[in-house]
Structure 1
Amino acid sequence: MEGPYRSRSRDGDRPLPGRRLDPHDHDRRELSSGHTLGSHLLRALQLRRLSLARLYGSRHGACQQLHQLREGEGAPGLALHRQGAQRRRLRLESVGDIRSEGRSIQLHGTLGRPKLQRGGTTQYGRPRGGIGQQLRSGCRFSWRRRVGGDGERCEPRQIGRREEPEGNLAMISRTMVVALCALSPSAMSDDSLAVYGNTPEELRPFGRFLTAPYKQFFVEPLEFTGPGREKPEPKVETVRIGVLAPLEGSHETYIGRDMLAGVELAIDERNKSGGFRGTPFELVVRNDTGLWGASANEIVAFSYEDSVWAVIGTVDGANTHIAIRVALKTELPVMNVADTDPTLVETKIPWIFRNIADDRQMAYTIAFHLYKERSFERVAILRADNRYGRFGVGEFRGGSVRLGHPPPIEINYEVAHRNLNPEFALQIERLRRVDPDAVVLWADAEAAGHLVRRIRGAGLTMPVFACDRVLHGSFVEIAGDAAEGVVAVVPYDPSSPSRLHEGFRDSYRKLHSDEPSVHAAHSYDGTMMVLAAIDKAGLNRYRIRDALAEIDQFEGVTGKIEMDRVHSDRGRVTMATMRGGRWVYNEPKVLRAF
């Protein structure tokens, strides 16, 4: 296993306290040369891909972890870390036997001398304190893997002692449980790992160190197991659908208005074809002001005052997170068509659905294009100082690090830039000092237009790669000639031949005398998905939710919508380049899109 490795806590990617293990570190060399595993065990580890083990136990309430069966320059070793001031390592001196039968693995061997680290100083001696079972250095031991109803577990057991034991005591809790991440060749195969969010193997968190994770999240179907499906359908004069969008008083009104235009077009077409069993659909529109918590009040009003059957919206990530938590309580289906926050569907709320690719997929596509296809090394980040900017570039930042090219700088700009910083002088000066190979821009259309114009006006010529929000007409209008050559990631390709998209584009042009935007098209599709669910389920929110959850693929004006296990669209994204005042799609052609 290559590269340094840091401890991983049980609750996520946050490293535990402790010194970083470096391949050139003296302790690592001693670990490799002083106590070795037999070649037969090393071969067995390679064959079974048995590369990582974890140990969970408690000593005075502290979390312990058994970290690694190393396959480095020397022989593998076992490292036992305890969160706190002390760290202990146990090393396997020899192994007498290894047996494997199906998914059961049993090891017999001898423990090497424990090494104690305290306060950064290496010490040898008897560990202070002591509770639980004691395994002497040099004692024989057995690890037998068991498969039980509560999961797959492995337990250590002392079975004897050498005639001349060496070293000192290693204190191991009685409750210690070793959970092996990979058990058999089939279970350990990377091919068996479920893929979430189109994450490539190169960007999988801890992919360089873990053959397989201890647990995978967001890869199992998200279900609602509560009651309500038995409720009878009421008699109504109209079938109400809610729309929650920033229509005024927000920097995202340009998105909200396009959303509403797409929803209205879908409702009009369905009413012309007979509505729901002869009953017309009716829109109930509410404004998302962007104020903290305001969206919660709107969802309550939709649920009880307006009696809508589903909601289309909204845009702002923070407000959407609040809205879906209220929807969970009021049990109201929500179809999101514009919020690309990667964490939106990671709330495990079974009432939220999203039919647009998220920032994770777009960030991965940009990262691979910049580093793998264009061979850039120093890519700066310029983003909005809000949730959209922070979470939008989060996956790009992490992906850049995993690909070996951490961004040299991440620059923020104020959302209220008109009043606070209309010239973007500080941002431009920082870019000039860093002089990156390229810039990744995550901003709203208007701000992106001003930023690109200022960047080119300052004589900076590095390529600019932007998020999907720059595809709005206001970006080109503000940036002018400076927009030439800007590359944007696109959730779908509107230039692909599609009879559905051509009909939608013609209808939209007649109504608005303009080309439909990305958000108008996804709003149209999202509304059609909700209406199709109502046709199938009838007027019952619980059955409507179930019908939406059953959609694996949906053919819409944005192409084939492919929903994953947490009900988010994972259709492949593409790129577009500004040429002569218009966007040219599929340019550049990306070799890997996510």
Structure 2
Amino acid sequence: MYAPPSSPDAERADGSTVRIGALVPLTRPGWVEAGRHLLAGLELAVGEVNDAGGIAGRPLELVVRDTAADPQRAAAAVAELAHLGVAAVAGEYHSVVARAAAAKADALGLPFLCSSAVLDALTEEPTDWVARLAPAQSHGWRSYADFLLGAGHRRIAVATEPSVYWASGTRILRDYLAPRGGTVVELDVRTLAPTAVCDELVNNRATALLLLTGFPEPAVSIVTSVRRDQRLAELMIGAPAGQPEFAEWAALLGDDSVAIPFLRYLPQRLSPLGVRVEAALRARLAQAPSFVAFEGYDTVAVLADMLRSHGPDRARIAQSWSRVAVEGTRGQIRFSRVPGIGVWQWAWPPTQVVDRDPAGPDRFRVLHTTWEGTGAATTQIW
């Protein structure tokens, strides 16, 4: 790992702005809607920072690069942004892409605050150059497993594709559910057509099917087939990775989009800051903002606070994660070292299991929530 000395290249040559790089999936095969929400949050926060006087009187500038869900493209973007003199890099939604970006940022000695990727192993080795706002996958998916158990599900099937992210999720679910009487059966959607997935669900007497697959396909076709199979009328479909969060899900599936529980990272009630930001994001996006938009806003709020305290010095920023105490849209943000996770981690953002309401697909029902008190997380079924 390279740890450079304090460098003047963290500023533009004329010193007029302080620059942050932003990694966002804005084209396919990236999840474009997620990228649009993430960018909206980042840009809203940058605008507010500049309206309040910038960083010591200097404007904050966001330098955006489209990752298109491509790890190599993301790593190249980090190298380019480092050369351009950004003080830090922010963003990214896709976990595998964020992992490549984190590795490059660590190698170059460039602070990276990851907004929305959850894969536990964001870096191979512990590093001070990377921090993360989103909860680790193990935290969120265990909460989802608690929801499944509370709802009476013990025989669970996962429709899955090859991916480090999906494999990690399957392992987390299996390890958590097995000691509690649950079983997890994997259905490889590379070899099974949607109708064959339905047959396997019947043969395995599954009571829940989790979509650990890409969106829109094959997830949309699987949901459509399952919903139309009378043998599976009582089967619960779930999507812990959050596919139903975005409007495109409802637009493609219509009435079939509802009652599919997924994870999102919002509190039961937003703070006054969160309410104000929600209204501004809604106006910017012309639709209800997802939790990803709030993650984008909070990312810039954290980095702006660090830049005000330490200037655009990369090494000083990387040394100060442990001293962050910023009021974000979803609670106070602090970073700590969490066992088994090699980056500085906000432990933990509020976590919910929600679904689209059958009585109105544009509304969400909170089914289960996890929050942090003075000790272990507490859960409640709603």
Same fold per TM (> 0.5)? Answer: yes
Query: Quick one: distance in 2 between partners of 1:538 and 1:439?
Result: 49
Q: 2:32 aligns with which of 241, 253, 256?
A: 253
Deviation, structure 1 residue 588: 4.2
Equivalent position to 1:564, from 328, 331, 336 = 336
1:333 to 107, 111, 116: 111
**Counterpart position of 1:378:** 155
> Which residue of the partner structure matches residue 426 of structure 1?
196
- Checking the alignment, whether the CA contact within 8 Å between 1:445 and 1:471 is kept in structure 2 is no
Structure 2 counterpart SS, 1:298: helix
Change (3 A) 1:232 1:286: closer
1:519 aligns with 2:292: yes
Give the whole-Å Cα distance in 1 for the aligned partners of 2:38 and 2:369. Answer: 29
Q: Which residue number in structure 1 is paired with residue 352 of structure 2? A: 574
Q: How far did residue 346 of structure 1 move?
A: 5.8
Q: Separation in 1 of the partners of 2:51 and 2:273?
A: 17
* Alignment of 1:592 onto 2:344: no
The Cα of 1:266 is off from its aligned counterpart by: 0.8
The alpha carbon displacement at 1:315 in A equals 2.6
Q: Is the 8 A contact 1:324 1:349 kept in 2?
A: no
| Superposition pairs of residues 55-94 of structure 1, within 5 angstroms | none
Counterpart pick for 2:73 among 294, 298, 301 = 294
Distance 1:436 1:530, change over 3 A: same
- SS of 2:379's equivalent in the other structure is coil
Q: Distance in 1 between matches of 2:332 and 2:229?
A: 42
Q: Which residue of 1 aligns with 2:256?
A: 482
**Using the alignment, how far apart are the partners of 2:126 and 2:254 within structure 1?**
43
Indicate the RMSD between aligned Cα atoms, in angstroms.
2.6
Alignment correspondent of 1:70: none
How much has 1:439 moved relative to structure 2? Answer: 1.9
Which residue matches 2:375? Answer: none
1:20-50 residue CA offsets vs partner (Å, 9 max, x unmatched): xxxxxxxxxxxxxxxxxxxxxxxxxxxxxxx
Kept in 1, the 8 Å contact 2:160–2:166? The answer is yes
CA-CA distance at 1:499 after TM superposition: 0.6
Question: Structure 1 residue 503: deviation in Å?
Answer: 0.6
- Please tell me whether the aligned partners of residues 353 and 368 of structure 2 are also in contact (alpha carbons under 8 angstroms): yes
2:269 pairs with 1:492: no
Q: Distance in 1 between matches of 2:282 and 2:258?
A: 25
- Is 2:189 the counterpart of 1:413? yes
The equivalent position to 2:131 in structure 1, one of 353, 364, 375, is: 353
Following superposition, the deviation at residue 581 of structure 1 comes to: 0.8
Distance 1:546 1:512 in 2: 35
Deviation at 1:592, TM superposition (A): 2.6
In 1, the alpha carbon distance for the partners of 2:228 and 2:30 equals 25
Matched, 1:397 2:167: no
Percent of aligned positions with the same letter in both sequences?
22
**Residues 480 and 308 of structure 1, relative CA distance in 2, 3 Å threshold:** same
Whole-Å Cα distance in 1 between the matches of residues 189 and 10 of structure 2? 50
- 1:340–1:359 Cα contact (<8 Å) kept: yes
Q: Does the C-alpha gap of structure 1 residues 329 and 398 become closer, same or farther in structure 2, counting only changes over 3 Å? A: same
The Cα of 1:456 is off from its aligned counterpart by 0.6
Rounded to whole Å, the distance in 2 between the matches of 1:492 and 1:485 is 19
> In 1, Cα distance between the equivalents of 2:32 and 2:271?
29
Kindly state the Cα deviation for residue 347 of structure 1 after the two structures are TM-superposed: 3.1
Structure 2 Cα separation of the partners of residues 567 and 539 of structure 1: 19
Cα 1:348–1:279 change in 2 (3 A) is: same
Instruction: Report what 2:94 is aligned to.
Output: 316
Gaps of 5+ in 1: 1-223, 415-419
Choose between structure 1 and 2 for higher RCO, CA contacts under 8 A separated by at least 6 residues.
Answer: 2
Per-residue deviation, 1:324: 1.6
CA contact (8 A) 1:453 1:480 kept: no
> Structure 1 441/250 Cα, relative in aligned 2: closer, same or farther at 3 Å?
same
Q: Aligned partners of 1:567 and 1:504: how far apart in 2?
A: 25
How many Å apart are 1:562 and its aligned residue? Answer: 4.5
Tell me if structure 2 keeps the 8 A contact 1:240–1:282. Answer: yes
CA shift digits 1:7-26 (9 cap, x unpaired): xxxxxxxxxxxxxxxxxxxx
Indicate yes or no: 2:315 matched with 1:542: yes
492 and 562 in structure 1: CA distance in 2 versus 1, 3 angstrom threshold: farther
Q: Give a deviation string over 1:472-499, Cα, whole Å, max 9, x none.
A: 1111222221233222222223x50411
Give the superposition deviation at 1:392. Answer: 2.6
- SS of 2:183's equivalent? coil
Q: Are the equivalent residues in 1 in contact too, given 2:368–2:379 (CA < 8 A)?
A: no
| TM-aligned CA distance change 1:585 to 1:547, over 3 Å | farther
Q: Per the alignment, in what secondary structure is the counterpart of residue 278 of structure 1?
A: coil
Distance change >3 Å, CA 261–CA 412, structure 1 → 2: farther
How far apart, CA to CA, are the structure 2 residues paired with 1:231 and 1:589?
Answer: 45
Report what 1:157 is aligned to.
none
CA contact (8 A) 2:128 2:319 kept: no
CA contact (8 A) 1:450 1:478 kept: no
* CA contact 1:316–1:388 (8 Å) conserved in 2: no
The one-letter code of the counterpart of 1:584 is F
The yes-or-no answer on 1:437 pairing with 2:207 is yes
Say if 2:24 and 2:39, in contact at 8 Å, map to a contact too: yes
List runs of 5+ in structure 2 lacking aligned partners.
338-342, 371-377
What amino acid does structure 2 have at the position aligned with 1:555? E
- CA shift, 1:227, in A, is 6.1
How far residue 589 of structure 1 moved from its aligned partner, in angstroms, is 5.8
Match for residue 102 of structure 1? none
Label 1:245 to 1:232 Cα distance change in 2 as closer, same or farther (>3 A): closer
Structure 1 SS opposite 2:146: helix
Separation (CA, whole Å) in 2 of partners of 1:563 and 1:261: 24
